[in-house]
């Protein structure tokens, strides 16, 4: 090694040391990467050191942001609606946040972490490395704890489940070693209270339910504080229309409100589950009113019954309980103030969201003022009418489409209801052309990044409008973009015809997607490419239910997947029972094959891991409600005309 190389290496080390020394906390993604590197070197002592430090750093960054945002919002309040005063408070609050956060964890630029890295921690991936490292070091009690923690958030991981069974059989490993190191206090107390309640230990359960409520409201405050960070504007690229200062603030604040509203769902969802516990917060007051009654504490029972009715006004069984408590006590009571404040705030936020969403939904049109907006709307309505007239004509001329389609399996042979499998829906040449289109036009928020469903695959996608837009810009063949549109329309008519629907089946969403196995990440893989779910309801395997409520796409009625290739390993489409485990049918993708089914809880489905190669398909969701039709197709007609 020459002198210059030595000097360069020395200066690099000094620079890294200075950067890290300026921060009081090392970035958790750097510590995680060091831990992974140590793991592949077989240096298990350093795996433990780095991964435990990474988890501590991740937690400290999160808690620092919460504490600083709450502290600065308390110190610098918006007590006036005067514009100058509002901006003054914003500037002071921003300065307060920078000082507070950087005083705790160092320069914030050191802690700007990629979404992929954050997802690794949210999925508890460091605990997978930790359990293996602790096992190699012979510390089985800590290995069991790490394995249990990981498995709580990844219950589909078969290998980890097997490891846990082995730990239970090991000498020196006790039952109390199987703890969830990432358990959320409000959920831990609530479910412990439910266990005592079910055993009839009402006095003890009251303590835990009250603790759970205290922790829930604290967790809600923290969740909302975390929403006050940078936001992602996936739907608006800031080049489609012009923004002024107030529109930018409005858009950002609307995103924050959406995030804060999602805290209700987040706090009610257990680790590793897709669906929240139904009626989660009101359920606390339901359990409490009866537990207090059983303990002879009718004052508290009445208070909790009245609080429950704030969430579900007029609910018959609780109204009867309330009237009974009033009669026994001889007087009325009051609901709890924290619940009243909570609901009042949520109502105000929902009202603001309606305003904010309407602002987000109206694009800026250059040169169009309010005085001539009506004439512009009339013009487009006229244009859309002509487009739909042309569609009718187009459909009449194109009935030949379905001539070569073969019915392969029906509901009986697929062991379910409202299921069908077709072959030869499109040709090999059409499959090849569409598959190529996916690669060249991909970019609907994925851009070949890690799949939203598994870290072991990359996910690329393109919509009808995106591909047609690229076609007219010359970035993809226009013929291919038109083919995508025509093939999706053909699929719609096949599904509508086969299921003999009496009303028109509208597109809800259409997506051309490819899932690609990431090389080097497929050994001993036991997760799914797409977890088991239903398309219009929230699947709850434990309760054997599928809850048709937001955030599920409750308006979806039928679904279809048209496959473009079969030259890959894994990737089978599977139907299951409501338990999300018992497989009832499996479909191996191939070019031109299409599976169709109703979108409800009668058809839970998922995709097995793609372990080699790339799996491409056209995913289609349909609705019978024209209010929820895919409006971008109107824009496609305008472009094609």
Q: Answer whether residue 189 is part of any domain.
A: no
Report pLDDT for 641. Answer: 40
DSSP assignment letter at 109: G
Are 463 and 340 contained in the same domain?
no
Report pLDDT for 362. Answer: 38
Report pLDDT for 448. Answer: 44
Give the separation between CA 64 and CA 60, rounded to whole angstroms: 6
Are 161 and 228 contained in the same domain?
no
Are 133 and 238 contained in the same domain?
no
Report pLDDT for 23. Answer: 47
Q: Answer whether residue 200 is part of any domain.
A: no
Say how many C-beta atoms besides its own lie within 10 A of residue 632's C-beta: 15
Of 153, 177, 201, the position where a domain reaches its end is: 177
Q: What's the structural domain count of the chain?
A: 3
Are 514 and 627 contained in the same domain?
yes
Report pLDDT for 549. Answer: 83
- What pTM was computed for the model? 0.56
User: What DSSP assignment string belongs to 21-45?
Assistant: HTSSS--HHHHHHHHHHHHHTT-HH
Q: Answer whether residue 8 is part of any domain.
A: no
Q: Answer whether residue 260 is part of any domain.
A: yes
Report pLDDT for 59. Answer: 93
Are 294 and 241 contained in the same domain?
yes
615 as an active site residue: the answer is yes
The answer to whether the beta carbons of residues 444 and 511 sit under 8 Å apart is: yes
User: How large is the angle between the packed helices 464-473 and 478-498, nearest 10 degrees?
Assistant: 160
Report pLDDT for 77. Answer: 83
Residues in the chain: 641
Q: Answer whether residue 143 is part of any domain.
A: yes
Q: Strands 406-409 and 538-540, how do they pair?
A: unpaired
Are 518 and 618 contained in the same domain?
yes
Catalytic residue among 593, 608, 615, 633: 615
Q: Which own/partner pairs from 472-475 qualify as long-range (CB within 8 Å, at least 24 positions apart)?
A: 472/639, 475/440, 475/441
Report pLDDT for 270. Answer: 86
Taking 50 as the pLDDT cut, the residues of the chain under it are: 1, 18-23, 234-241, 358-402, 444-449, 634-641
Are 519 and 439 contained in the same domain?
yes
Q: Answer whether residue 149 is part of any domain.
A: yes
Of 303, 329, 360, the position where a domain reaches its end is: 360
Are 170 and 74 contained in the same domain?
yes
What SS3 state is found at 493? helix
Q: Answer whether residue 5 is part of any domain.
A: no
Q: Answer whether residue 19 is part of any domain.
A: no
Are 352 and 421 contained in the same domain?
no
Are 153 and 241 contained in the same domain?
no
Nearest residue to 284 (alpha-carbon basis) of 377, 190, 196, 155: 190
Report pLDDT for 294. Answer: 94
What SS3 state is found at 7? helix
User: How large is the angle between the packed helices 125-136 and 158-169, nearest 10 degrees?
Assistant: 40
Report pLDDT for 34. Answer: 92
Residue 560, domain extent: 402-639
Are 426 and 496 contained in the same domain?
yes
Report pLDDT for 450. Answer: 54
Nearest residue to 61 (alpha-carbon basis) of 124, 2, 105, 4: 105
The kind and range of the H/E element at 226 are helix 202-226
Report pLDDT for 253. Answer: 78
Are 260 and 315 contained in the same domain?
yes
Report pLDDT for 260. Answer: 85
Residues 6+ apart with CB under 8 A from 640: 468, 482, 485
């Amino acid at each position: 090694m020459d002198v210059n190389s030595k000097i360069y290496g020395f200066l690099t080390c000094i620079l890294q040391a200075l950067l890290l020394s300026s921060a009081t906390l090392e970035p958790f993604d750097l510590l995680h990467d060091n831990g992974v590197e140590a793991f592949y070197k077989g240096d298990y002592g350093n795996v433990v050191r780095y991964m435990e430090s990474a988890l501590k750093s991740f937690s400290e960054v999160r808690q620092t942001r919460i504490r600083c945002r709450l502290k600065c919002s308390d110190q610098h309040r918006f007590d006036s609606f005067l514009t100058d005063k509002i901006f003054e408070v914003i500037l002071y609050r921003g300065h307060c946040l920078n000082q507070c956060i950087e005083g705790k964890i160092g320069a914030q630029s050191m802690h700007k972490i990629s979404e992929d890295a954050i997802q690794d921690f949210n999925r508890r991936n460091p605990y997978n490395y930790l359990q293996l490292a602790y096992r190699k070091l012979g510390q089985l009690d800590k290995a069991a704890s790490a394995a249990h923690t990981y498995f709580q958030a990844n219950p589909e991981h078969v290998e980890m489940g097997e490891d846990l069974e082995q730990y239970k059989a090991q000498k020196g490993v006790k039952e109390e070693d199987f703890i969830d190191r990432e358990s959320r206090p409000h959920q831990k107390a609530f479910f412990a209270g439910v266990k005592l309640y079910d055993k009839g230990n009402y006095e003890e359960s009251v303590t835990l339910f009250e603790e759970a409520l205290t922790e829930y409201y604290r967790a809600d405050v923290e969740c909302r504080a975390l929403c006050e960070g940078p936001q992602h504007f996936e739907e608006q690229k800031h080049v489609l229309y012009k923004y002024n200062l107030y529109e930018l603030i409005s858009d950002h604040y609307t995103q924050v409100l959406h995030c804060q509203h999602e805290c209700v769902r987040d706090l009610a969802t257990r680790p590793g589950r897709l669906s929240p516990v139904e009626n989660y917060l009101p359920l606390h007051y339901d359990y409490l009113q009866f537990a207090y009654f059983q303990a002879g504490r009718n004052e508290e029972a009445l208070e909790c019954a009245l609080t429950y009715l704030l969430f579900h006004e007029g609910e018959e069984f609780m109204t009867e309980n309330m009237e009974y408590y009033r009669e026994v006590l001889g007087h009325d009571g009051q609901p709890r103030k924290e619940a009243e404040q909570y609901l009042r705030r949520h109502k105000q936020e929902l009202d603001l969201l309606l305003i904010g969403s309407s602002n987000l939904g109206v694009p800026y049109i250059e040169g169009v003022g309010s005085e001539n907006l009506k004439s512009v709307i009339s013009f487009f309505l006229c244009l859309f009418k002509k487009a739909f007239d042309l569609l009718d004509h187009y459909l009449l001329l194109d009935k030949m489409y379905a001539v070569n389609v073969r019915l392969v399996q029906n509901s009986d042979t697929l062991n379910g209801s409202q299921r069908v499998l077709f072959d030869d829906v499109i040709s090999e040449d059409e499959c090849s052309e569409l598959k190529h289109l996916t690669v060249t036009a991909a970019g609907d928020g994925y851009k070949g990044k890690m799949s939203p469903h598994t870290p072991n695959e990359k996910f690329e996608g393109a919509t009808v409008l995106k591909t047609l837009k690229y076609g007219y810009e010359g970035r993809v063949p226009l013929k291919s973009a038109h083919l995508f549109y025509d093939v999706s329309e053909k699929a719609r008519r096949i599904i509508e015809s086969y299921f003999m629907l009496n009303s028109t089946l509208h597109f809800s969403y259409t997506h051309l997607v490819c899932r690609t196995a990431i090389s080097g990440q497929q050994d001993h893989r036991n997760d799914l490419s797409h977890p088991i779910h239903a398309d219009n309801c929230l699947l709850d395997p434990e309760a054997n239910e599928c809850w048709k409520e937001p955030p599920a796409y409750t308006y979806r009625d039928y679904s279809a997947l048209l496959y473009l290739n079969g030259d890959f390993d894994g990737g089978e489409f599977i139907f299951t029972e409501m338990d999300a485990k018992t497989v009832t049918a499996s479909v191996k993708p191939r070019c031109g094959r299409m599976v169709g089914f109703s979108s409800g809880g009668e058809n839970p489905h998922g995709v097995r891991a793609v372990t080699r190669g790339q799996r491409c398909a056209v995913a289609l969701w349909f609705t019978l409600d024209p209010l929820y039709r895919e409006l971008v197709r109107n824009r496609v007609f305008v472009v094609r005309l």
